A = this chain, B = another copy of it.
Amino acid sequence: MPLAFTLAELASLTGAKAVEGACVAPLTGVAALAEAGPADLSFLGNVKYAGAVATSRAGVILVPVAFAGQPVAGQAFLRVDNPSYALALLCSVLESRLWPRPPAGVHATAVVAGSARVDPAAHVGPLCVVGEGAEVAAGAVLEARCHVGAHAAVGVDCWLKPGVVVGDYCVLGARCRVQSGAVIGSDGFGYEPVDGEIRRIPQIGNVVLEDDVEIGANSTLDRARFSRTVVGRGTKIDNLVQIAHNVRIGRQCLITAQVGIAGSTTLGDHCVLGGQSGVAGHLTLGDRVKLGAQAGLFEDVPADGFMNGTPAVPFGLERRLVVLSRRLPDLFKKVDSLTASLDSARRQPT
């Protein structure tokens, strides 16, 4: 972290009620209690780890106001109401200093089409491309090497990290945040067999991200066959996720890494899909549906359903099946033993 803070600055940023002790060096990092060194700030987020404070080498530790211990030599305690909250506060400040909003304007090496409308309050970084008819709204940040295709729109205060591709005609709402390498608006995978060959079906729709959507690195969202592939307001998508054409994802969903959602499937609001899980095409998932990591879902799920396994079944059943399947060796033995008993019983004269 190329930042250095004095103890006084940290006390002010974290709203500390009291400062005890003194640290030697300016603070340049944040680390867990066990890993922190004299130039790191650490924190006691959960009282059950209180013992780790005594042995921590951290230069500064955020502790609850009522915490019993005292700092060792060369160490400072900042006593705060809630160390986790204080840390979050501090991290937000650190983030805004580590990633200051770049200045408005278009870098000299960016290639912006004549008919594109880039708001004067937007930032278009080096070697970006903005296509014909595209719009980049006020406050939007396109870091280096981003692509905004023809007639695409990037909303107010969006932040695109280096190397994002927004395909032609795709639309990003306000405050979307997209990590490097994500592709929004690749062609849907639509083919049909014609005379023994596989013929491509035109994919003429687009992708719409509503406000406050976040997309992870190298994730791919296919444009609709026609109409729209939609990601609802506030939904967060992790890295390497595949969203196929015509998928509709509701609001405030969490789609974790390497998930795949096949074509035309619809998710409600507040759904959570575990890592590497997959959802087959043309399904409907209600609100608040959860899917376990690596699960494979092949059927509709009503609201509040929690499914797991491949093919996915309700979570409780899946847990039970896993337990029972591990007892298969015993079951086989038991059945063999039963068979033997019955055979022996038969051989006995009655």
CB of A335 within 8 Å of the partner chain: yes
Chain B residues whose CB sits within 8 angstroms of the CB of A296 once the complex forms: 276, 293-294
Whether B252 lies near A278 (C-beta < 8 A) is no
Chain B residues whose CB sits within 8 angstroms of the CB of A293 once the complex forms: 262, 278, 280, 296, 298
Could you say how many copies of this chain the assembly holds? 3
Whether B275 lies near A262 (C-beta < 8 A) is yes
CB of A9 within 8 Å of the partner chain: no
CB of A229 within 8 Å of the partner chain: no
Whether A252 lies near B198 (C-beta < 8 A) is yes
Instruction: Give which listed residue, B180, B298, B329, B342, contacts A338 with CB less than 8 A.
Output: B342
CB of A339 within 8 Å of the partner chain: yes
Whether B217 lies near A220 (C-beta < 8 A) is yes
Instruction: Give which listed residue, B31, B179, B187, B220, contacts A181 with CB less than 8 A.
Output: B220
CB of A141 within 8 Å of the partner chain: no
Q: How far is the CA of A311 from the CA of B322 in the complex (A)?
A: 8
Q: How far is the CA of A220 from the CA of B324 in the complex (A)?
A: 37
Q: How far is the CA of A323 from the CA of B332 in the complex (A)?
A: 11
CB of A200 within 8 Å of the partner chain: yes
Chain B residues whose CB sits within 8 angstroms of the CB of A212 once the complex forms: 197
Whether B144 lies near A147 (C-beta < 8 A) is yes
Contact with B along A297-334 (1 / 0, CB 8 A): 01000000000001101000100111011111101101
CB of A286 within 8 Å of the partner chain: no
Chain B residues whose CB sits within 8 angstroms of the CB of A40 once the complex forms: 227
Chain B residues whose CB sits within 8 angstroms of the CB of A331 once the complex forms: 331-332, 335
Main secondary structure, interface of A, reads loop
Q: How far is the CA of A194 from the CA of B73 in the complex (A)?
A: 39
CB of A169 within 8 Å of the partner chain: yes
CB distance from A215 to the nearest CB of B (A): 10
Contact with B along A264-286 (1 / 0, CB 8 A): 00000000000110101000000
Whether B169 lies near A179 (C-beta < 8 A) is no
Known interface pairs A2-B169, A162-B129, A260-B276; A217-B183 also in contact (CB < 8 Å): yes
CB distance from A292 to the nearest CB of B (A): 9
A residues with a Cβ closer than 8 A to B are 1-2, 29-32, 35, 40, 88, 91-92, 94-95, 98-99, 107, 109, 111, 125-127, 129, 131, 133, 144-145, 147, 149, 151, 161-163, 165, 167-169, 177, 179-181, 183, 186-187, 189, 191, 196-198, 200-206, 212, 214, 216-220, 222, 225-227, 234-236, 238-240, 242, 244, 252, 254, 256-258, 260, 262, 275-276, 278, 280, 293-294, 296, 298, 310-311, 313, 317, 320-322, 324-329, 331-332, 334-335, 338-339, 341-342, 345-346, 348, 350
Q: Can you give 13 A-B contacts (C-beta < 8 A)? A: A127-B127, A161-B167, A165-B180, A179-B183, A189-B216, A189-B238, A191-B236, A197-B212, A240-B240, A258-B258, A276-B278, A313-B326, A341-B342
Other CB < 8 Å A-B pairs besides A147-B162, A198-B254, 15 of them?
A40-B227, A91-B204, A111-B127, A161-B187, A163-B163, A177-B200, A179-B186, A180-B183, A186-B239, A198-B235, A294-B294, A321-B326, A321-B329, A324-B328, A331-B335
Q: When A and B form their complex, which 6 residue pairs have the shortest distance between CB atoms, in order from nearest?
A: A186-B217, A30-B226, A95-B202, A217-B220, A91-B202, A220-B239
